[in-house]
Amino acid sequence: MRKELEFSNGKKLEVGTIYCVGSNYSKHIKEMGNLITAEPVIFIKPGNAYIKDGESIIPPKFSENVHHEVELVAVIGKDCRNVEENEALNYVAGYAVGIDTTLRDIQQKAKNNGQPWAVAKGFYTSAPISKVIPIEEFGFENREFDIELSVNGSIKQSTNTAEMERTTAKIISYLSSVFYLEPGDCVFTGTPEGVGKIVPGDKLHAELKGFAELNVNVE
């Protein structure tokens, strides 16, 4: 059964496809030893990978290096295909904070072997997302957010989305030139530096500062 995103105003929307952008903050690109690519790096998580506030990340047992990646998430509100960058934010239903949970060892193995990242990035429970704040609270113009993540009370990642290499509008415009975006699709916009290992028992707390909070455990 399709899971539902919850909005802060009580609205609900079935989760569609979860699109993610890799390498979108220069300091994170450096910490991973990657290069900025001409086209964005895109990967997908199944909608069922979504979990909400208060639920648990349950990584598959064969991974020994699970990482947190805090990210701004834009939720799509209207069918969206081939939109220009200056129109792209009109298709956003709201913003949330999410954690692109990653099996780093499995991802590294896949990279080394030229294989896809589906297992490393898309495993069940890999996409915690906070309540969604409706776009009406922000307006459709570009705006920047502070996002932050702490593990067991200590801050690990903290940035402003102005640091992104590609804006949310640019990412949505690009995605819409390749895919057919639909209401309930989620766009993870990339993680800043400070990614790190999480283990069973850890408590993760992420914030879209001033708007939304997300608490999940690692099981």
Q: Interface with Mg ion by CB under 5 A: which residues?
A: 69, 100, 191
**Angstrom distance (rounded) from CA 38 to CA 153:** 37
Question: Please, what is the minimum distance in Å from the beta carbon of residue 9 to Mg ion?
Answer: 27
The DSSP element (H or E) to which 67 belongs, if any, is strand 66-68
Collapse the DSSP code of 140 into the 3-class scheme (helix H, G, I; strand E, B; otherwise coil) and give the result: coil
Complex with Mg ion: residue 44 or 90, whichever CB lies closer: 44
Question: Please, what is the minimum distance in Å from the beta carbon of residue 69 to Mg ion?
Answer: 4
Six token digits for residue 198: 């999480």
Complex with Mg ion: residue 70 or 93, whichever CB lies closer: 70
Question: Please, what is the minimum distance in Å from the beta carbon of residue 72 to Mg ion?
Answer: 11
**Angstrom distance (rounded) from CA 185 to CA 19:** 7
| Nearest residue to Mg ion on Cβ basis | 100
Query: Are the CB atoms for 216 and 51 separated by under 8 Å?
Result: yes
Complex with Mg ion: residue 75 or 136, whichever CB lies closer: 75
- Give the distance from CA 79 to its chain's centroid: 20
Question: Please, what is the minimum distance in Å from the beta carbon of residue 191 to Mg ion?
Answer: 4
Complex with Mg ion: residue 28 or 131, whichever CB lies closer: 28
